[in-house]
Amino acid sequence: MTTSVDVTSFGAVGDGITDDSAAFAAALGSTASQIIVPPGIYCVENVQLPAGKHLQGAGPGQTTLKIVSGSSYNILTASLANSVAVTGMTLDDTGATGTSHGLFVSQCADVLLLDISTRNTPGHGIWLYDSPRARVDRIFIEAAGDWGMHVGGGNSVFSTYSNIHTRNCATIGVRARDCALLTFSNISGSGNGGDSTTMSFYNANWCLASNITEYDGALGDTVVIAGDSIGTWIRGVTAKNGGGHGASISATETGAPVDCHIVDAYFENQGECLGCITDQGEGNQPSNCSIRNVRGRNPGTVNPSEAFAISNAVNCVITGSVIDTQGNMLYAVQEHNGVGSSANNRFEIDNWVPGTSGYFSLASPTSTIVHTRLERGYVQKSDVDYNWDPAVDARQISFDAPLTANRNLVLAPSWSGDRVRVVRSASGSFTLAVKQGGTTLKILNAAGDWVELYFDGTNWRLAADS
Q: Tell me the pLDDT band of 353, cut-offs 50, 70 and 90.
A: low
pLDDT of residue 165: 97
**Burial environment of residue 163 by CB neighbours within 10 A (0 to 12, 13 to 18, 19 or more):** middle
Q: Is the pLDDT of residue 458 over 80?
A: yes
- Per-residue pLDDT tens over the stretch 404-443: 999 999 999 877 777 888 999 888 889 999 999 999 999 9
Are the C-beta atoms of 453 and 434 separated by less than 8 Å? yes
Q: What is the pLDDT of residue 195?
A: 60
Percent of the chain residues topping a pLDDT of 90: 67
Least confident of 99-108, 209-218, 367-376: 367-376
Of 2-6, 259-263, 340-344, the poorest mean pLDDT is in 340-344
Could you tell me the CA-to-CA distances from 61 to 48, 143, 157, 279 in Å, in that order? 22, 16, 31, 44
- Helix, strand, coil percentages (3-state) for the chain, rounded to 5, are 5, 50, 45
Residue 373 has pLDDT above 50, yes or no: no
What would the DSSP string read from start to end of 324-391? --TT-BSEEEEEE-TTS--BS-EEEEEE---BTTEEEE-S-TT-EEEETTSTT-EEEE-SS-EEE-TT
End-to-end Cα distance, the chain = 87
CATH 3.40.50.1000, domain 1-170, yes or no: no
- What class has domain 199-373? mainly beta
User: pLDDT at position 196, please?
Assistant: 58
Res 321: pLDDT: 84
**Residue 363's pLDDT band (boundaries 50, 70, 90)?**
confident
Per-domain residue ranges of the chain: 1-170, 199-373, 387-466
- What are the φ and ψ backbone dihedral angles of 436, each rounded to 5 degrees? -125, 115
Element (H, E) at 276: strand 275-278
Q: Do domains 1-170 and 199-373 have the same CATH topology?
A: yes
pLDDT tens digits, one per residue of 288-298: 999 999 998 88
Is residue 188 within 8 Å of residue 212, measured between CB atoms? yes
Side chain identity at residue 228, one-letter code? D
Q: Which amino acid is at 1?
A: M
> What pLDDT is attached to residue 65?
98
Say if residues 93 and 119 touch (Cβ distance below 8 Å): yes
Q: What is the pLDDT averaged over residues 306-317?
A: 92
Strands 368-371 and 378-381: antiparallel
Task: Output phi, psi for 338, to 5 deg.
Answer: 60, -140
- Across 34-43, b (16+ Cβ under 10 Å) vs e yields ebbbeebbbb
What per-residue confidence (pLDDT) applies to 384? 87
Which of 30-34, 215-219, 338-342 has the highest mean predicted lDDT (pLDDT)? 30-34
Nearest CA among 367, 379, 448, 365 for reference residue 407? 365
C-alpha to C-alpha distance for 285 and 434, rounded to whole angstroms? 34
Predicted local confidence at residue 372, as pLDDT: 46
Reported as a pLDDT band with limits 50, 70 and 90, residue 86 is very high
- The pLDDT, as a whole number, for residue 218 is 64
Give residue 21's pLDDT: 98
The pLDDT of residue 351 is: 67
* For range 230-236, the mean pLDDT: 98
Q: What is the mean pLDDT of the chain?
A: 90
Q: CA-CA distances (angstroms) from residue 93 to 70, 106, 196, 247, 464?
A: 10, 20, 23, 32, 75
Per-residue pLDDT, 428: 81
DSSP 284: P
pLDDT above 80: residue 339: no
The CA-CA-CA angle for residues 119, 122, 126, to 5°, reads: 60
Q: What is the b/e burial string over 320-359, where b = at least 16 CB atoms within 10 angstroms of the residue's CB?
A: bbbeebeebbbbbbbbbebebebbebbbbbbebeebeeeb
Question: 284 pLDDT band (50/70/90 cuts)?
Answer: very high
**Rounded CA separation 247/260 (Å):** 12
Mention every residue, 6+ apart, whose C-beta is less than 8 A from residue 434: 409, 411, 422, 440, 441, 442, 443, 444, 451, 453
Largest pairwise CA distance in the chain: 94
pTM: 0.81
CB 314 within 8 Å of CB 287: yes
In which region does residue 186 sit, left (phi positive, over 0), alpha (psi from -120 to 50) or beta (all else)? left
**Confidence (pLDDT) at 132:** 96
Question: How would residue 234 be classed by pLDDT, with cut points 50, 70 and 90?
Answer: very high
Cβ atoms 209, 237 nearer than 8 A? no
pLDDT for position 382: 76
Contacts with 275 (C-beta within 8 Å, 6 or more apart), sequence order? 245, 246, 247, 248, 262, 265, 291, 294, 307, 308, 309, 318, 320
Reply yes or no on whether the pLDDT at 219 is more than 70.
no
**pLDDT average, residue stretch 29-53:** 98
pLDDT at position 324:
64
**285: DSSP letter:** P
Which pLDDT value is given to residue 376?
45
Q: Please report, to the nearest 10 degrees, the dihedral formed by the alpha carbons of residues 151, 152, 155, 159 taken in order.
A: 40
Q: Is 161 helix (H, G, I), strand (E, B) or coil?
A: strand
Q: For residue 77, count other CB atoms closer than 10 A to its CB.
A: 18
Contact 219, 238 (CB under 8 A): no
What b-and-e string marks burial along 222-260, b requiring 16 or more CB atoms within 10 Å of the CB?
Answer: bbbbbbbbbbbbbbbbbbbbbbbbbbbbbbbeebbbbbb
Q: Is the pLDDT of residue 228 over 90?
A: yes
